[in-house]
């Protein structure tokens, strides 16, 4: 089953919605206006029918008073042609028909009529009253109303079409910056990571997206540059032990050699192989840390006790270098003990390589804000330039001021591993150097 989503046009969808909203609003306005007009027309028709009924009642009452029944009949028959679209009906008090307009002709009635019943005083007649009904036909008003309904419908539909067309044109015009950004994005490639998005006419709604994308490209460019530098450094670092291995093997195979000489050659090759293995293992560890691996914390332990174990392990190397090691401070923390001891070992190894003979190394443990703990190794020596401090934890980086022990076997991943272990404990690496004292270490979260 395919999970592909069908694309849609923003301009078309927005234009359709605006058109529907416009037609609904106009329809409601027109409906309200028409209902109001309809009520007004009905009231006007009722008042007109009432007025005409009163006129008829006054005329017939006067005729009955002056001339009696025959004068009244003569008057209604004479006025009949003038009552177009109306109908007059008269009944005596006993219910018998006194007069009625003939149906059809001028008195034809359509579907929209209004009848008004009223009484006419008639003292001359039995019962003293004439009952009357005056019916008016308002079909013309109804037809006028239907015509306006049709006009309203046409206006509503036409407005919807015009709004749809106009809004789609305006939206497509407003979306031109997005098309420009898409074209600029397509132009970015692996060989042009320095390209950034920009708008000739910056839109307030688009600026956050452009800024975030450009910030992402800055991080990506930096990551790619670091990766390229890392690949170059790896190739450089691997080339030396590989060349040594190849050289030892070529020498051993060049001619017949005694067993002791071959043994020394194999020992040299083994040392280079072990160096390669250590480098590969360190790179694998850093790769796991970069993928978000976290420390396996155990029960709370004394960091000073862990530091003492590391110092004891390096005691012989420190004595050979004429250095003393002192531990200051302590704290309890739930940490991955093997990882923390590895970080401390790398810090001590780094300090032993660069500290002058006769000086003292200080391994310091101290609390920081919150639940963070600070662990650092301080040594005397030449001050590291400020521009080098942020890069001390980069892979294979060596500051020129610290290059004093090139003959020792180390491959420039020690401090990078310290930084990775700090991140695995929710901490960060630290480096300070001033007035002949250098402090390198890391922070970690005491509790997970």
Residues 125 and 256 grouped into a single domain: no
Residues 278 and 308 grouped into a single domain: no
Is residue 191 included in any domain, yes or no?
no
The model's confidence at residue 412, banded by pLDDT at 50, 70 and 90, is confident
Tens of pLDDT, residues 41-93: 888 888 988 998 898 889 888 888 888 888 888 888 888 888 778 888 999 88
Over its C-alpha atoms, the chain yields an Rg (Å, rounded) of 52
Q: Is 150 helix (H, G, I), strand (E, B) or coil?
A: helix
Residues 146 and 226 grouped into a single domain: no
Question: What is the rounded distance in angstroms from the CA atom of residue 394 to the CA atom of residue 390?
Answer: 8
Instruction: Give the domain extent around 81.
Output: 10-169
Question: Domain of 16: which CATH number?
Answer: 3.30.450
Is residue 181 included in any domain, yes or no?
no
Residue 28 has pLDDT above 80, yes or no: yes
Question: Domain of 375: which CATH number?
Answer: 3.30.565.10
The model's confidence at residue 223, banded by pLDDT at 50, 70 and 90, is confident
Is residue 40 included in any domain, yes or no?
yes
Is residue 257 included in any domain, yes or no?
yes
Domain boundary, last residue among 142, 169, 196: 169
> How many whole angstroms from its chain centre is CA 18?
24
In the sheet that holds 360-367, the strands lie side by side as: 324-328, 360-367, 372-380, 437-445, 429-434
Where b means 16+ CB within 10 Å and e means fewer, 105-144 reads eebebeeebeebeeebebeebeeeebbbebbbbbeeeeee
Phi/psi of residue 314, each to 5°?
-95, 10
Mean pLDDT value across the chain = 83
Domain boundary, last residue among 141, 169, 197: 169
Is residue 228 included in any domain, yes or no?
yes
The model's confidence at residue 236, banded by pLDDT at 50, 70 and 90, is low
The 3-state secondary structure of 231-244 reads HHHHHHHHHHHHHH
Residues 126 and 268 grouped into a single domain: no
Residue 408 has pLDDT above 50, yes or no: no
pLDDT of 443 reads 92
**Beta-bridge mates of residue 126:** none
Residue 306 has pLDDT above 90, yes or no: yes
353: tokens are 């390589």
| Predicted structure pTM score | 0.53
* Domains: count for the chain: 3
Is residue 176 included in any domain, yes or no?
no
């Amino acid at each position: 089953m395919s999970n592909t989503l069908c694309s849609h046009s923003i301009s078309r969808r927005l234009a359709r919605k605006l058109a529907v909203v416009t037609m609904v609003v106009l329809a409601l306005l027109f409906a309200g206006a028409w209902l109001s007009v309809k009520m007004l027309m009905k009231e006007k028709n009722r008042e007109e029918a009432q007025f005409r009924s009163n006129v008829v009642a006054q005329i017939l009452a006067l005729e009955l008073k002056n001339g009696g029944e025959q004068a009244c009949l003569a008057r209604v028959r004479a006025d009949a042609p003038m009552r177009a679209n109306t109908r007059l009906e008269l009944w005596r008090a006993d219910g018998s028909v006194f007069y009625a307009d003939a149906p059809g002709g001028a008195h034809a009635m359509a579907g929209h009529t209004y009848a008004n019943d009223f009484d006419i005083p008639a003292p001359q007649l039995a019962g003293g009253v004439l009952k009357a009904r005056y019916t008016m036909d308002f079909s013309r008003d109804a037809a006028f109303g239907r015509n306006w309904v049709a006009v309203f419908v046409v206006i509503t539909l036409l407005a919807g079409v015009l709004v749809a067309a106009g809004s789609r044109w305006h939206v497509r015009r407003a979306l031109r910056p997005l098309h420009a950004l898409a074209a600029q994005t397509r132009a970015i490639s692996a060989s042009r990571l320095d390209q950034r998005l920009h708008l000739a006419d910056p839109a307030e709604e688009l600026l956050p997206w452009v800024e975030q994308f450009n910030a992402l490209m800055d991080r990506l460019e930096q990551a790619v540059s670091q990766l390229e530098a890392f690949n170059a450094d790896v190739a450089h670092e691997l080339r030396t032990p590989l060349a040594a291995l190849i050289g030892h093997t070529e020498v051993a195979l060049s001619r017949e050699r005694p067993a002791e000489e071959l043994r020394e050659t194999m020992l040299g090759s083994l040392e280079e192989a072990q160096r390669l293995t250590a480098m590969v293992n360190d790179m694998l560890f850093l790769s796991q840390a970069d993928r978000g691996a976290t420390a396996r914390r155990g029960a709370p332990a004394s960091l000073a006790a862990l530091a003492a174990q590391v110092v004891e392990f390096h005691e012989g190397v420190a004595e050979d270098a004429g250095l003393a090691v002192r531990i200051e401070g302590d704290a309890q923390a739930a940490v991955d003990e093997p990882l923390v001891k590895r970080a401390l070992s790398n810090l001590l190894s780094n300090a032993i390589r660069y500290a002058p003979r006769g000086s003292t190394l200080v391994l310091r443990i101290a609390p920081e804000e919150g639940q963070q703990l600070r662990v650092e190794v301080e040594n005397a020596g030449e001050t590291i330039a400020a521009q080098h401090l942020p890069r001390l934890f980069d892979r294979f980086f060596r500051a020129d001021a610290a290059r004093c022990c090139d003959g020792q076997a180390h491959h420039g991943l020690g401090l990078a591993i310290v930084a990775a272990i700090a991140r695995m404990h929710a901490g960060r690496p630290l480096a300070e150097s001033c007035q002949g004292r250098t402090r390198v270490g890391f922070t970690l979260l005491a509790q997970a």
